[in-house]
Amino acid sequence: MWMCILAAAHAESAWVLEPDGKVVYGGVGLSTFATGVSGGERDRQYRARIDTYGAIGLREGLQLSVDVPFVRTGVLVDHEGVSPCPSSSDYCDPVTTVGELGVHLRRRVLDTGPVRLAVDLGARSDQWNAGTRSRWVNAGQGASSLVGSAVGDAVLGPVTLTAWWRYGLVIGRPVTREDGLVEWLPPDWTGGGLHAAFPVGPVWLTLGGNGLTRLGGVDFDEDWNLYPAEDRWSALQYREVRAEAKVSIPLGESAGLHLSAGRLVWVENGPEGIWDGGAGVHRSF
């Protein structure tokens, strides 16, 4: 029962709620880094968030979920003599906003007990954050996307392996470069991951990693400067690999506490050394 609850609270899982089953999650998180895309030292940026998630089983094998993060970005430490802050513009001013909102519909494809497979179709957007995209403390790129994914679970004794893949079809905006070429930005993206969850005494430990790449864009070189300043982040062909760990503690039969930590272990065309942590509680009904 606990693994079912844990899976329902985890976005990357093939578990689908039963009809009229419900699960909610609320938590807080923080990510931070202190390097620029070039690798040089920068004033440490932070992104604090409140994470909310809810899902309901609509019918047999069909689930609807909604996730809404509330975000505040800013400069955690303004080191003397380190760019880019302070700034004469709003480049370093903190931003408080709603982050990228997502609505997803998940369909169970296979459930044999030890093996589960599901597909997911969703829409995500943070169009309201487009005005911050040129800042050091930007809250997002102000784009929308249609996201398709496939996720599978395999129970191997005490260990549950979860693998997932996603593709994001981005509904971007036309951007005119200095050389007159028009591109739609940000580009589409794809990514996937693998996690292993297993019991350690009374708690569950999840270890794994994931990767993501944009399917277009340019490297951080002279081409980057051909784009308007507010769209240079969107133009980069960003790639990353992250390592993650999570501890899940049961709080009775229908709730649990989740503590997570992650770190960027490899990146191209993006800041290095990003750390992320979070804590939250789920409840099923």
pLDDT of residue 238: 93
- In angstroms, the CA 136 to CA 45 distance is 8
Question: In the chain, where are the structural domains located?
Answer: 2-284
pLDDT of residue 13: 84
**149 closest CA partner among 5, 51, 25, 11:** 11
pLDDT of residue 2: 32
pLDDT of residue 12: 67
pLDDT of residue 141: 86
What does the pLDDT look like over 155-173, one tens digit per residue?
Answer: 999 999 999 999 999 998 8
Quote the distance between the C-alpha of residue 172 and its chain's center.
Answer: 18
pLDDT of residue 1: 30
pLDDT of residue 175: 93
pLDDT of residue 167: 96
CA angle 110, 147, 101 (to 5 degrees): 115
**120 closest CA partner among 166, 185, 51:** 166
pLDDT of residue 221: 79
pLDDT of residue 248: 95
pLDDT of residue 3: 32
- In angstroms, the CA 207 to CA 93 distance is 36
pLDDT of residue 25: 96
3-state secondary structure 245-283: EEEEEECCCCEEEEEEEEEEEEEECCCCCCEEEEEEEEE
What does the pLDDT look like over 122-139, one tens digit per residue?
Answer: 999 999 998 888 888 888
pLDDT of residue 133: 87
The DSSP annotation for 56-69 comes to: EEEETTEEEEEEEE
CA distances from 35 to 46, 154, 235 (A): 12, 38, 19
Quick one: tokens of 155? 């129970």
Tens of pLDDT along the chain (285 residues) come to: 333 333 333 456 888 999 999 999 999 999 999 988 888 888 899 999 999 999 999 999 999 999 999 999 999 877 778 888 877 678 888 999 999 999 999 999 999 989 999 999 999 999 999 888 888 888 888 899 999 999 999 999 999 999 999 999 999 889 999 999 999 999 999 999 999 999 999 999 999 999 999 999 999 876 888 999 888 889 999 999 999 999 999 999 899 999 999 999 999 999 999 999 999 999 999
Span between the terminal Cα atoms of the chain, in Å: 13
Give every CB contact of residue 80 below 8 A, 6+ residues apart in sequence.
none
Q: Is the distance from CB of 93 to CB of 135 less than 8 angstroms?
A: yes
Looking at 3.40.190.10, 3.30.230.80, 2.40.160.40, 3.50.50.60, the CATH number of the domain 2-284 comes to 2.40.160.40
Quick one: tokens of 258? 């989740």
- In angstroms, the CA 35 to CA 223 distance is 21
Instruction: Give the DSSP H/E element, type plus range, for residue 98.
Output: strand 95-98
Can you name the residues that pair with 142 across neighbouring β-strands? none
CA angle 109, 113, 118 (to 5 degrees): 20
